Amino acid sequence: MKLPRAWVLAFGITLALLAGCHRDAQPSWRLTDVSGHLPDLAFKLTDDNGKPVTAADYRGKVLLVYFGYTHCPDVCPLTLAQLHVVMQRLGAKADDARILFVSVDPARDTPQTMHAYVNAFDKRAVGLVGPDKDIEALAKQLRSAYTREPDKGDGSYDVSHSSAIYLFDRDGKARVLATPSASQDDMVHDLSLLIDLGAKA
Amino acid sequence: MMPRPSLLAAVAATLWLLIAGSAIAGDADTVTASNAWIRVLPGNLPAGAFADFTNASDHAVALTGASSTRYGQAMLHRSSTEGGMGRMEAVDKMEIPAHGSAKLSPGAYHVMLMQAKPAVVPGDNVVITLSFSDGSHKDVTFQARPANAL
């Protein structure tokens, strides 16, 4: 049996209204909502103190995950500087968040170089390194990609990489996605909402 | 007493050099640079240099390169995040339009500085010689700033 078109329309409108009501209870993100579209954060890597870590070690913290490498002279420092300013603007609240800077250059980035690098930007930034296969697995999980470009002749090379910043909630669930061109206000807004979610009263 | 001919020749040569010098200064003279700074990264990592330029002349000028006694290598680069991928490429020049302006800025055109000697630390002033398409040069003082400066 075919439902009359008017009924279908009415049903659709009711659903939309219900969804509208329901959405009010949800955070109104300004960045791209990716809830339910990416798997929960999972990795086994080494932090910038040389300690083996997994995603579970960061449960309870809101995470900003960003792929890059220390020899990246421009885009990565710009993004990390912006993330630092975003964290600064949150004040003490930012202690509930961590920036995870994941190296896509396993050949050159060591825990030591990553340690000096991330701390030059923000004390709440963590550098993560690991073998190519583990970095690739995480990148794949997050629908991200990176490519080592050809040698420039003097042994140096660039690595092209996805420039997105992934924001995870305290339970390791992917919530929103930001591009490096996202406004600082929007980043502060969404990060603040994420920190409020599940904060201990 | 008459000046010796050799002295006259030296004075003439100096004058000629001054005139010739100002003639080849060309584009470097019509371009002004401001807000020149370097983002200093830890260790011996490459650093980006940035500045704002205005061109007072009625013809386009191109910035074609850079060098500094403080760095082993300086290259004109452009980074982009087109298509969601961060990448970088070496470029030959950056155009500064007639009666217009252009910028070396984070995430776009910049000078990539490598092999600092001695190490550059925030607060340092570093002179970088910029080259223009007509062969002229300009010394610009860049201020070294911390990694997380914006």
pLDDT confidence bin for B12, thresholds 50/70/90: low
Total count of domains within chain B: 1
**Lowest mean per-residue pLDDT among B1-5, B64-68, B82-86:** B1-5
**Closest chain B CA to residue A72:** B46
Distance CA B54, CA B30 (A): 8
Nearest C-alpha in A relative to B47:
A73
Tokens at B65, concatenated:
């390169």
Is residue B103 assigned to a domain?
A: yes
Q: What is the rounded CA–CA span in Å between residue B111 and residue B90?
A: 10
Location of structure tokens 């993100």: A29
- Touching check for A113 and chain B: CB below 8 Å? yes
Strand B31-39 with A97-103, pairing: unpaired
Q: What confidence score (pLDDT) does residue A178 get?
A: 95
Global pTM reads 0.81
Residues of B with CB under 8 A from a CB of A: 39, 41-43, 45-48, 77, 79, 81, 84-88, 106-107, 110, 112, 114, 146-150
DSSP B3: P
Q: Above 80 in pLDDT, residue B15?
A: no
**CA A171 to CA A198: how far, in whole Å?**
9
Domain that holds residue B20: 5-145
pLDDT tens-digit readout, A23-42? 445 789 999 999 999 999 99
| Mean pLDDT value of segment A75-99 | 96
Chains A–B, number of C-beta pairs less than 8 Å apart: 95
> What pLDDT does residue A200 have?
63
First CA to last CA distance, chain B: 64
* pLDDT of A8: 53
Find the CB nearest A163 among B47, B77, B85: B85
pLDDT for position A10: 56
CATH code at B104? 2.60.40.1890
Question: Hey, CA dihedral for A97, A101, A102, A107, is it positive or negative?
Answer: negative
Report residue A11's pLDDT band, with 50, 70 and 90 as the boundaries: low
pLDDT higher than threshold 70 for residue A201 = no
- Distance, in Å, from the CA atom of B43 to the CA atom of A77, rounded to the nearest integer, reads 14
Residues in chain A with CB shorter than 8 Å from the CB of B150 are 78, 81-82, 85
* Mean per-residue pLDDT of chain B: 87
Contact A149 B43 (CB under 8 A): no
Best A31, A67, A74 residue to mutate vs chain B (most B CBs within 10 Å): A74
- The closest of B32, B22, B100, B105 to B60, measured between CA atoms, is B100
Model confidence band, residue B21 (pLDDT cutoffs 50, 70, 90) = very low
Min Cα distance A134 → chain B (Å) is 20
The DSSP letter of residue B2 is: P
* A73: nearest CB among B84, B87, B112: B112
Q: Which of A75, A80, A85 sits opposite B79 (nearest CB)?
A: A75
- pLDDT, position A198: 77
**ipTM at complex level:** 0.77
The answer to whether A179 contacts chain B (CB < 8 Å) is yes
Query: Looking at the domain assignment, is residue B150 inside a domain?
Result: no
Quickly list DSSP for A65-121: EEEE-TT--SHHHHHHHHHHHHHHHHGGGGGGEEEEEEES-TTT--HHHHHHHHHHH
pLDDT at B13: 61
Q: Which of A73, A63, A104 is nearest to B49 (CA)?
A: A73
Angstroms from B86 CA to nearest CA on chain A? 5
Q: Tell me which residue of A170, A182, A184, A167 sits closest to A86, measured CA to CA.
A: A184
Any CB–CB contact under 8 A between A117 and chain B? Answer: yes
Pick the CATH number of A31-196 from 1.10.490.10, 3.40.50.880, 3.40.30.10, 3.40.50.80: 3.40.30.10
Q: How far is B41 from chain A (nearest CA, A)?
A: 7
Mutate to test the interface with B, among A67, A69, A78 (most CBs of B within 10 A): A78
Residue B127 inside a domain? The answer is yes
- Segment A108-163, tens digit of pLDDT: 999 999 999 999 999 999 999 999 999 999 999 999 888 888 888 888 888 888 88
Q: Report residue B99 as tokens.
A: 């009666």
